[in-house]
Chains A and B, each alone.
Chain A
């Protein structure tokens, strides 16, 4: 229990959250957006899971009570009862680990509901109740193929063909670009890697990639609570990442960014930056200039792993404001009080409609209410989830979802 405890950092064993659970006084701050930031009743909720299921058990409050009930002696809940175990799994795995609950709770009550939730998930794995069956293929794929898509390692660098990209494992580079699995394999997201490359080249950045030597950062494995496997992945990754001459590692993937930042940082030789930070610096330094006007009205969705996890809020906004012809309007729930798209924490895999679809639809509606019809983000998972649901809800909202890299590339 500490004031200023960061979301998803310094996760302790579950038993250490036990006494804190008694200190939850059910004020409900974990349920809503920050009181002074709220603009409307409609957009005042902050917890996708709780807002979807509405029982207290699905909010930060419920996490604390679940921990209290599971860790007291004797435990109040019998996890050998299949019905109980199943519901606990649902409660724990429908949390997209966005951290919004903690952002409101911690400054005043000093509790860590989001971190406690992560600890609870890890504990469930130790008890053999996690990850969920839906997550197993992902974990297996990552362990066997170094990516969650069961794709061959060799296919990882396909996107880089015919592009001016150095091989950082062989050549000296100042910057290592780490596209991550999604931008490397998912055809929908793959263009992002290309746009990053073009932008870096336009700014004359000396950069390279690890190509087929790049492996998954392990974010997914860690988020579903499988820490044993994550530790293995991390060890492998450190070897390859530290083998380059790069001083900076950049990535356009929010998941990779937060994982490398928090889980690898102490042992990495390079500084980790998200592409929005890196680009913002390039723009400020005058190394990246724009020539084309985009004529777009946009709004921006803060990915949890860039925003709440790593505190990067200004950089994407600076970029959008710098793009010619872009009219940027904010949504109501932004920055540290942003509404999560619902994809994180393995929710898109295990609960594609109930959580990922539900949360994305709510976000698209909020984006629509700004008047903008383009929702920009800086995370491939947000982009996948919001994009897919934007198609589903096109009749109602007519929103399109775009990666910020695309806009930057187009404005060059």
Chain B
């Protein structure tokens, strides 16, 4: 597929034609509406619609043309997220975009459980298609419109959020006001792979929950789920809110069951359209969705746990509720409010809500309430529906929301005046939003007034105060002055320009040659990082951050000199919070330390806590791994690091601080949710490697560490392509039944090098005993029974696809001992470090890919090895060259996998370096051909990748220019200058 062009030229139309005629020329006469009754249908309340036109484009090209036309004419464009627009949303004239004709499912991928759907597609229409394939989606708890895409875009809470709270949507197709098309995620490269990540920072993520202010979203990739053997529910009665909150907080931590939500009588009456007078005040619903044997076990244990909590089983509505779990639940009343909150705050907030509503003249019987346990009970989503005519009590819900927000309720998508209040509470956020708005919609035509006003102050870009025509101010007098200022700011001890120190910072183990920095500083706090940033900018000195310095991509070495900000002294582990299941720490905290400290904290049923760690070394920084998109590790159960990152603190190029996540709203604090209020700007910091600022603090999700675990190994000896196909088949089967915690497909190179590293000899000596595709699978369970059920089911899959289970007892004891579950789940990676022993340098190139494509790319990679690499080792095969493809961490349900290419080389040997350089280039090109977005940046990737990314690359350059006008933040790590390529 061709790369996207940077600008899709809209058709030029005569400017003197009336607007209606021009629009009709784009979408056809029948799809432009301007009659008052036609316009009024878009509003829930009467509106003066004299100057509004509604258009119904059928394709994204038509949307491009309409939006570009509006932009040319400075006309506002209004889009619908909910069923209706509010009169306050529109200001006199403009164009309403109605997507009712864009209803296609452009791609329905049952294998990878993904679908590309247009914005006008309704839940009902999608369901019909999916039913035929035994598929389904995660359905909203309180949908605000019929559009699947709009609900996902708005982060409408999903009932499945108890396990998977993340937005089930990516790869947006976004139309910018200038008419250009911005495909986000991996679609910025091409549409061969459906992967959430872009080649650099995840800019497209700011389109989520943005109400289209940064571009009109016309299509997206959504997650599908398989219909399972057993869909069931258990219901339990509770008398008191406090008790049901405790149940929603605690029980999901066991990972027994799926949905955990509770509804009061009024809510259930509305949901079921039935009299529920006989029900207790609160009904807790526990949903189950999986293989029959597993569900049977889980139900038994949930009954026991609920009994311990004093809950009464409720049988009467079980079947009806079970049927409804996969149905869309719509917003029950126009008077409603919904927010996330810490479980400990729910009662206090409820008291405020009840008082507010009853003071308005309602009885408590008219208040419907529903609580959803989010991501293992780390917080709750709380929804109030007031069953009354909206007209009479206009403002009731808005006032209530404002009151609750002031007391710590988290409104992640605030509207109207609440949006002003909430966004205004986050320091510097408005300036950030305004600056992004300036880049994508400088005239402010898209849904004007939402989240950001064109009158808002912008981010104040840093300025350079020295006069020079050079790219940087690296010049001896200037460096001396900078050093003096840094010494003043940090103290003499923590600043060096001595070449003997600098020598330690100019190299990593990749082929990328770095320059030595001119200065290295060791700040100890966010404030000190701010000072460094300000000094650097004034003097036009590049800044490169480094946390622990182990890097696969040349990213922790300066390319143009400058100040290297070594973050080792920022090494505080600030908090491990059992309530929200999170840990907050600084860049210098090593993975092993974090894991170890988390293991000391227990939650419900004595479950220890653990972070989800990438499969890498224990000695390195988790903060860097998460913000730089490190290896996906346990993704099959928990998802990628970006979705596990809750709050971040960034020092921006101008020295100001921007916080992301719920904790950015001071009243809210930590919640364990991975987005802040309004548009999700956090994406632009991921995979930016210091080009957007320096991250000095992060809060990540922790998870209950199940009591029981076992590692199962499968050995596939079949030659390729059959061997690789079989391995991938196993990955699909194991992931799709949601049975396991971790799966890693290795290759003989990794196995042999590791074994030789530990036990001596040449890696090739161990080839005879090494399978072509070793699979390591970590299975965990709440208790022995859970584990055994899962193991039994895993072994059934093995039998079904004819996999040989590897019995490690046949190994010498010291070798068998090495195979433990710890490296899988805890990334202690002690033995893993042996992969670096052979030849010293270990090249790791990896990208996201659908697992079914791995056998194909594996075959292509073999050709590259044969042509460019093999003769450096032995002459027989890829295996004997100790190279091959890895796969770790498919996303849950195997929606997306990774492929990794490994080969070893000697950095001290110029010939070996040269050959590695060729291999990197060829492998990178192969990856791009397959639509494979690199997991993380590498200098070389940037050069090859960025120019292929069309609008994304243009956007990235503009963002860099807006926030870092002199291109000083890790310059060239993200090639963002016009003359770069």
Bound together: yes
Q: Do A22 and B498 touch across chains, with their CB atoms under 8 A apart? A: no
List chain A residues, Cβ under 8 A from B597.
Answer: 40-41
Query: B573 near A41 (CB under 8 angstroms)?
Result: yes
Q: Is the CB of B840 within 8 A of A55?
A: no
Residues of A within 8 A of B655 (CB): none
Interchain pairs with CB closer than 8 A, number: 151
Q: A57-B504, A61-B549 are in contact. Are A44 and B590 (CB under 8 A)?
A: yes
B181 at the interface (CB under 8 A from A): no
Question: A41 CA to B520 CA in the complex, in Å?
Answer: 25
B residues in contact with A23, CB < 8 Å:
836, 839-841, 906-908
Partner of B593, one of A36, A44, A88: A44
Report chain A residues within 8 Å CB of B504.
55-57, 61-62, 65-66
Nearest A residue to B502 by beta-carbon distance? A57
Q: Which of B500, B573, B596, B617 gathers most chain A CB within 10 Å?
A: B500
Check A56–B837 contact: CB distance below 8 A: no
A74 CB, nearest partner CB in chain B, Å: 14
The reply to whether B522 and A108 contact each other, CB–CB distance below 8 Å, is no
B377 within 8 A of partner (CB): no
Contact of A28 among B590, B594, B839 (CB under 8 A): B590
Interface bits B709-746 vs A (CB < 8 Å: 1, else 0): 00000000000000000000000000000000000000
Of the candidates B504, B619, B830, B907, the one having the most CB atoms from chain A within 10 angstroms of its own CB is: B504
CA distance A39 to B600 in the complex (A): 10
The reply on B508 being an interface residue by CB < 8 A is: yes
In the bound complex, do residue B837 and residue A109 qualify as a contact, i.e. CB atoms below 8 Å apart?
yes
Measured in the bound complex, the distance between the Cα atoms of B754 and A110 in whole Å is 12
Nearest chain B CB to A26 CB, angstrom units: 5
- Of A76-84, A323-331, A341-349, A355-363, the one contacting chain B is A76-84
**Residues of A contacting B757 with CB < 8 Å?**
3, 108, 110
Contact B906 A22 (CB under 8 A): yes
**Which residue from A41, A77, A108 sits with its C-beta under 8 Å from B499?**
A77
| Proximity bits, B498-516, A CB within 8 Å = 1, else 0 | 1111011111110000000
A34 within 8 A of B: yes
- Known: A19-B908, A54-B566. Is A77-B828 also a contact (CB below 8 A)? no
Q: Of all chain A residues, which has the CB nearest B820? A: A36
> Which of chain B's residues has its CB closest to A77's CB?
B499
Pairwise interchain contact B503-A76, C-beta atoms closer than 8 A: yes
Smallest beta-carbon distance B835→chain A, Å: 9
With beta carbons under 8 angstroms apart, the residue of B503, B829, B906 that contacts A57 is: B503
CB under 8 Å from chain B, chain A span 5-26:
18-19, 21-26
A41 to B590, CA, bound (A): 8
A223 to B628 alpha-carbon distance, docked (Å): 42
Q: Check A25–B501 contact: CB distance below 8 A.
A: no
* B340 CB, nearest partner CB in chain A, Å: 30
B837 adjacent to A28 (CB under 8 Å): no
- A64 CB to nearest chain B CB (Å): 9
Per-residue contact bits, chain A 135-176, to B (CB 8 Å; 1 contact, 0 not): 000000000000000000000000000000000000000000
B830 touches A36 (CB 8 A): yes
Whether B509 contacts A26 by the Cβ 8 Å rule is yes
The answer to whether A38 has its CB under 8 Å from any CB of chain B is yes
A288 at the interface (CB under 8 A from B): no
Q: Which B462-502 residues have a C-beta within 8 angstroms of A? A: 493-494, 496, 498-501
Task: Please give the distance in Å from A2's CB to the nearest CB on chain B.
Answer: 10
User: Is B834 engaged at the interface, CB distance under 8 Å to the other chain?
Assistant: yes
CA distance A29 to B757 in the complex (A): 16
Q: Please, what's the 1-or-0 string for A302-320, where 1 marks a CB less than 8 Å from any CB in chain B?
A: 0000000000000000000
CA distance A39 to B592 in the complex (A): 10
| Chain B nearest CB, measured from A78 CB (Å) | 8
Q: Could you tell me if B840 and A35 are in contact, using CB atoms closer than 8 angstroms?
A: no
The verdict on A265 contacting chain B, using a C-beta distance below 8 Å, is: no
For A65, list chain B residues within 8 Å (CB).
Answer: 503-504, 506-507
Complex Cα distance A115/B837, Å?
A: 17
Mark each residue of chain A from 36 to 50: 1 if its CB lies under 8 Å from any CB of chain B, else 0: 101111001000000
Contacts of A91 in B (CB 8 A): 500-501
- The smallest beta-carbon distance between A200 and chain B, in angstroms, is 40
Is B594 within 8 A of A55, CB to CB? Answer: no
Given contacts A25-B840, A25-B842, A38-B596, contact A56 B549 (CB under 8 A): yes
Query: Is the CB of B831 closer than 8 A to any CB of chain A?
Result: yes
Are the CB atoms of A35 and B549 closer together than 8 Å? no
Which residues of A sit under 8 angstroms from B589, Cβ to Cβ?
41
B758: which A residues are within 8 A, CB to CB?
107-108
Q: What is the distance, in angstroms, from A217's C-beta to the closest C-beta of chain B?
A: 32
Is A121 on the interface with B (CB-CB < 8 A)? no
Please tell me if the beta carbons of A35 and B592 are within 8 angstroms of each other in the complex: yes
B228 proximal to A (CB < 8 A):
no
- Considering the chains assembled together, what is the distance between the CA atoms of A53 and B548 in angstroms? 15
Within 8 A of A (CB), among B803-844: 822, 828-831, 833-834, 836-837, 839-842
Q: Is the CB of A27 within 8 A of B499?
A: no
Q: Mark A113-127, 1 if CB is under 8 A from B, else 0.
A: 000000000000000
Q: How far is the CB of A333 from chain B (nearest CB, A)?
A: 13
Interchain CB contact (< 8 A) of A44 among B548, B549, B592, B834: B592
Instruction: Say yes or no: B505 contacts A32, CB within 8 Å.
Output: no
Provide the residues of chain B in CB contact with A24, threshold 8 Å: 509, 840
Q: When chains A and B are docked, how far (Å) is the Cα of A23 from the Cα of B907?
A: 7
A48 to chain B, nearest CB (A): 15
Q: Which of A22, A27, A87 contacts B620 (CB 8 A)?
A: A27
CB of A69 within 8 Å of the partner chain: yes
B568 within 8 A of A: yes
Residue of A nearest to B548 (CB): A28
Q: Does A335 contact B (CB under 8 A)?
A: no
Is B760 located at the chain interface by the 8 A CB criterion?
yes
Does A274 belong to the interface (CB within 8 Å)? Answer: no
Q: Is B329 an interface residue (CB 8 A)?
A: no
State in angstroms the CA–CA spacing of A61 and B508 once bound together: 10
B residues 553-603 near A (Cβ < 8 Å) are 566, 568-569, 573, 589-590, 592-594, 596-597
Cβ-defined contact, B834 with A87, below 8 A: no
CA distance A288 to B503 in the complex (A): 55
Give, as a whole number of angstroms, the nearest-CB distance from B565 to chain A: 12
On chain B, the residues within 8 Å of A76 by CB distance are 499, 503
With a cutoff of 8 Å between Cβ atoms, the chain A residues found around residue B834 in the complex are 108-109
Contact between A26 and B551, CB atoms less than 8 A apart: yes
Residue interface mask A86-121, B partner, CB < 8 A = 1: 011001000000000000000111100000000000
Alpha-carbon distance between A57 and B507 when the two chains are bound, in angstroms = 12
Closest to B596 in A: A38
CB pair A28–B498 under 8 Å, yes or no, is no
| Contact between chains at A54 and B619 (CB < 8 Å) | no
Complex: chain A residue closest to B591, CB-CB: A35
Given A25-B841, A41-B596, do A55 and B619 touch, yes or no (CB 8 Å)?
no
Chain B residues contacting A69 (CB-CB under 8 Å) are: 503
- Is the C-beta of A31 less than 8 angstroms from some C-beta in chain B? yes
Cβ of B617 and Cβ of A29 under 8 Å apart?
yes
Contact A25 B509 (CB under 8 A): yes
Output the least CB separation between B594 and chain A (Å).
7
Assess whether B828 is in contact with A35, with CB atoms less than 8 Å apart. yes
| Complex CA distance for A69 and B617, rounded to whole angstroms | 26
A55 touches B828 (CB 8 A): no
Bound Cα distance A305, B945 (Å): 53
Contact B617 A55 (CB under 8 A): no
Contacts A35-B592, A108-B830 known; list 5 others, CB within 8 Å: A24-B840, A35-B619, A41-B597, A108-B833, A110-B837
4 closest Cβ pairs, A-B complex: A23-B840, A22-B908, A108-B833, A35-B618
Which residues of B line the A interface, CB within 8 A?
493-494, 496, 498-501, 503-509, 520, 522, 548-551, 566, 568-569, 573, 589-590, 592-594, 596-597, 617-620, 757-758, 760, 822, 828-831, 833-834, 836-837, 839-842, 906-908
Q: List 9 A-B contacts (CB under 8 A).
A: A3-B757, A22-B906, A22-B908, A26-B549, A40-B597, A41-B589, A55-B504, A56-B504, A68-B503
Which residues of A are at the interface with B, using a C-beta cutoff of 8 A?
Answer: 3, 18-19, 21-29, 31-32, 34-36, 38-41, 44, 53-57, 61-62, 65-66, 68-69, 76-78, 81, 83-84, 87-88, 91, 107-110
